[in-house]
Every structure is written in C-alpha cells, then in structure tokens.
Amino acid sequence: MICKNCNSENNQKLSLIYESGTNNISTNSKTVGVGLGTGGIGIGSASTNTSGTSQSILAQKLSPPKKNSYLLAVFVMIVGAIFLCNVYELSIKDSIFVLIGIFLLGFGIKIFRVNYRYNSNTFPKKYLEWTKSWHCNKCGNIYSE
C-alpha cells in the first residue's frame, strides 16, 4: 500500500500494529524465608500471581472499536425493578418511588436498546473499516484500502 497523504510505502495494517504492540503478561512467584529471633525460628512462604496486558501507546491509539456494554442498562433496570417490587408496601404519599421505578426501568430499557442497535448495526461496520485500515509510519496518516 502507498500512503494517500505522503506516497510512502512504509505502511502497516492497523490490526498488525495492534497485535504486535499488545502483550499478555502472566507471572508466578514463590518465596520462602527463615528467621531467627528471641522466640525461636520462624519459617514463612509467599506466593504471588500477576496477570494483565501491556500495550504500546500506538497499539492503544489504533485499537479496534469496542462493543457497547449492557452492564449499565441491566443495573438501571434492576434498580427500577427493585423500586417497583416494593409497591405493595408503599402508601399513596410514597408514589414518587413508583414513578422513579417506572422511569428507571424505562430508562434502562432505552439504554439497552441503544447499545443493542449500536452493537448490531454500527459496530460491525466500524470493525470492518478498522480491519481494512492502514497506518503510514512516515506521516502517521490513517487510511482505508
């Protein structure tokens, strides 16, 4: 590929930059110690596990698009349902809680629907565009095939 901005041939696909700049880390460590004090001899041991991901700044910048999470929508709907489940215990003056419950339930459903539409319609197009995109290592331009 040739950069459309500077005509350089020094280009890489975004997916290659992302994959080569992302590393999974997993380490295990064990240690044993012996100590001598006025109370006698003490023996101890410890074990640690570390895991995670390390990324270059360029890999972070050129990462693929992400799907929207449904976590917030589900949380809001659960809180709304909790308000509504306690309706039989509420008096007329507490009807504001019923309205809050209905509002939260409806708002959670709206968030869920917006995220579902994005994940079903917009995300696949953005991801496909990302898989076809290139980065110029000379000028930094990002372009598609």
* Pair 110, 118: CB distance under 8 Å: no
Digit-coded pLDDT (tens) for 115-125: 999 999 999 99
Digit-coded pLDDT (tens) for 23-37: 999 999 998 888 888
Residues 6 or more apart from 132 whose CB is under 8 A from it?
144, 145
Determine the angle formed by the axes of helices 71-85 and 95-117, rounding to 10 degrees: 160
Task: Give CA separation, 11 vs 1, 50, 141, in Å.
Answer: 7, 35, 9
- Mean pLDDT, the chain, integer: 90
